[in-house]
Amino acid sequence: MVRDVRRVTAPIVTGVLAAAGLLLAHPLQGTQGSSRPAVRNVIFINGDGMAAAHREAARLYYAGLDGQLTMDTFPSSGQLTTSPDDPEDVVTDSAAGASAWATGVRTYNGAISVDPAGKALPTLGAQAKAAGKATGLVTTAQVTDASPAAFFANATDRAVQDDIARQYLQVSKPDVILGGGEDWWLPAGSPGAYPDQPAEDPTEGSRGTKGDLIAQARADGYRYVSTPAQLAAAGPGKLLGLFANQEMFQQRPEGQGDVYAPVVSLATMARKALDTLATDRDGFFLLIEEEGVDEFAHNNNGARTLQAMGELEKAVTVARDYAARHRDTLVVVTGDHETGGLAVEEVNATDESGDGTSAEDGPFPVKGSTFRFVIDWTTTAHTGQDVPITAYGPLADRFTGKHPNTFVYDVLKPVLTR
């Protein structure tokens, strides 16, 4: 039974590295019909919880009525469905959503790149590594959280983040690992750079069961960094950077300790990852994720959701600028699901549809105008909406149209395993 498999929390199936390539039906070329270089590098960007309304709210706030976000200037766009293969749920979570991208197989909520029966599946990150490419992940969540884990690990339960960290070091071996989640890399009672029970969240603290994985990473040749200065000073080679106990922010409702102030920004981590991975002559695969969009939307926190969208946009610009200089780079931006049932509405005091946490947020200014808008919410959970996907670079046109989320794997696997 799937439910029995889902509840298993101890030793998880190991990652599967090898997989055969799948040939495309047409040449690897760009969106204008002109010959473009074959894809050598892939930058895949996840705005966790981001759907069309999140992008529109951010566009109005940051670019104005006639402006565009960088992610919306990409020449190719489409939609992805998000449904899981779950016996109880029709709406996906991040684990099942990212697993569909990373393996091409829909699965149950909570699964990390295993099929509905709990069998480990080959992942894009591990396959790219096996093909000789450099690989990396950058996130404002724990580096072992569901979305990055799906590309580099296998687990029947997303909760086993210490085992996911172990798999990074022993199985999939990404070259760059940057984000939060130091607690999962150290044994309980052995705090690292970030102290246990910090004032901003006393529930945080080291909790690993796999030994001192930071020490193991160092022994395996990773340079470990935990501050902006250390990150900036890090030279070539494998890099592990952990910049928070858990997520790199405090995800709470407005005025209740909600803080988005990462020690190091998503764009800075993305830029460092690109500098590091770009030295590999065989190319690279990089996952970039902004987790704050999802977490603040879960709390129906409009101001912080917009802030997280702004930081995601900066990271997208870093990736786009890199791809503009390296024409063999494909950049893809999407979201794993929608969070919050977010709607962009006119300012109208008679149209309030919620109260408490779910009350309308705003009004927020439309940049460069006298207009304002409000953000309204229908839920604190995920919804089943399709999500937009935009792409830049060679092969971007493959994402035009409406596709299941497993289509991401179908497109990326051939170019990452050649």
pLDDT in tens, 269-282: 999 999 999 999 99
pLDDT band at 36, cuts 50/70/90?
Answer: low
Tokens of 204: 């945080």
User: What pLDDT score does 351 carry?
Assistant: 81
Q: Are residues 249 and 292 in contact, defined by beta-carbon separation less than 8 angstroms? A: yes
User: What pLDDT score does 25 carry?
Assistant: 31
pLDDT in tens, 141-195: 999 999 999 999 999 999 999 999 999 999 999 999 999 999 999 999 999 999 9
Coil, helix or strand at residue 365: strand
Written as one letter, the residue type at 91 is: V
Average pLDDT of the chain is 92
| Rounded distance between C-alpha atoms, residue 375 and residue 364, angstroms | 8
pLDDT in tens, 67-90: 999 999 999 999 999 999 999 999
The ranges assigned to domains in the chain are 2-50+75-338+385-416
Coil, helix or strand at residue 104: coil
Report which of residues 44 and 418 the model is more confident about: 44
Look at residue 23 and tell me whether its pLDDT is greater than 70.
no
Tokens of 396: 């971007």
Please report, for the chain, how many H helices and E strands are present, in that order. Answer: 12, 15
- CA angle in degrees (0–180, nearest 5) for 202-262-243: 70
Q: Are residues 286 and 138 in contact, defined by beta-carbon separation less than 8 angstroms? A: yes
What is the third-level CATH fold of 2-50+75-338+385-416?
Alkaline Phosphatase, subunit A (3.40.720)
User: What pLDDT score does 112 carry?
Assistant: 98
| Rounded distance between C-alpha atoms, residue 373 and residue 344, angstroms | 7
The residues that bridge with 136 in the sheet, in sequence order, are 176, 286
**What torsion do the CA atoms of 338, 339, 341, 345 make, to the nearest 10 degrees?**
-90
Q: What would the mean pLDDT of 204-215 be, rounded to a whole number?
A: 97
pLDDT band at 35, cuts 50/70/90?
Answer: low
| Rounded distance between C-alpha atoms, residue 169 and residue 150, angstroms | 15
Coil, helix or strand at residue 208: strand
- With residue 224 as reference, give the H or E element that holds it: strand 223-225
Q: Are residues 103 and 123 in contact, defined by beta-carbon separation less than 8 angstroms? A: yes
The residues that bridge with 176 in the sheet, in sequence order, are 136, 239
Look at residue 16 and tell me whether its pLDDT is greater than 60.
no
| Structure letter (DSSP) for residue 172 | I
Look at residue 12 and tell me whether its pLDDT is greater than 90.
no
Look at residue 28 and tell me whether its pLDDT is greater than 60.
no
- Strands of 284-290's sheet in order across: 223-225, 239-242, 176-180, 134-142, 284-290, 41-47, 329-334, 387-392, 76-81, 401-404
Options 94, 147, 206, 358, the catalytic residue:
94
Is residue 76 annotated as a catalytic residue, yes or no?
A: no
Q: Are residues 48 and 310 in contact, defined by beta-carbon separation less than 8 angstroms? A: no
